[in-house]
Amino acid sequence: MTIRHHLNDDLLIGYASGNLSEGWSLAVATHLAMCSACRKNLAVAEAAGGVLLEAIEPVGGDERSWEALKSRLLSEPTPPIKPKVQPPSALIPEPLRSYLGADLADLKWRRVGTAHQILIKTEDRETQVRLLRIPAGKPVPEHSHGGRELTVVLTGAFHDEIDQFGPGDIEDADGSLTHQPVANAEADCICLAVTDAPLKFTSRLVRLVQPFLGI
């Protein structure tokens, strides 16, 4: 498996520092479980962060500092979801598999237009997380994005106006991209998709039914 599409620096740095919301963190952790190159880059980012922390000069504080620190800790983002390297036989890597609560063959899909999806529950109000299955050789409706979308391919592959994306690849899309992903003809494409805003479909018909599809 050759992975050609990797994490952008802002995602790696945000993940290493614990500043990503749960949805983005899950997408990053899923890619990291499949991509040894990005795991090496993450180690570099974490080491750089450690050096910067050690270089900070301590400063004195008043007797209210402990209460202020406790308040800050409670308001800080949750720590990054820790990736686990995917075993060669696993189709859905951890930690995503634990979120789904089932193996690939046991998942309960819901049809949404030409594709199928499973909404994944998180405590994150910033993003929406879903597992998508695009039938072999079929497209999803052409669309752009109201915000950011991370798509991690788990099995199969798809292509769009940008490139070809196979297992482990991650596509990082925003409002500047209008595309129509099409699953390769050889097999269904199953991928994890995380968004922070509704998609913007070109088709008026799809826009009319979009509230019912939940996308």
d(CA 183, CA 133): 9
Instruction: Indicate the average pLDDT of the chain.
Output: 87
- pLDDT of 86 above 80: no
DSSP letters of 114-145? TEEEEEE--S-SS-EEEEEEEPTTPBPPPEEE
pTM: 0.82
Question: Where residue 146 falls among pLDDT bands split at 50, 70, 90?
Answer: very high
Report pLDDT digits (tens) over 43-63.
998 887 665 555 566 666 666
Question: Where residue 67 falls among pLDDT bands split at 50, 70, 90?
Answer: confident
- pLDDT of 215 above 80: no
Share of the chain above pLDDT 70, in %: 81
| Both tokens assigned to 104 | 């690939």
Question: Where residue 113 falls among pLDDT bands split at 50, 70, 90?
Answer: confident
pLDDT-wise least confident of 38-52, 97-111, 130-144: 38-52
- pLDDT of 77 above 90: no
Beta partners for 164?
A: 159
* pLDDT score, position 1: 66
Spell out the domains of the chain, with CATH numbers in brackets.
9-75 (1.10.10.1320), 96-213 (2.60.120.10)
- pLDDT of 168 above 90: yes
* pLDDT score, position 57: 66
Task: Read off φ and ψ for residue 202, nearest 5 degrees.
Answer: -70, -40
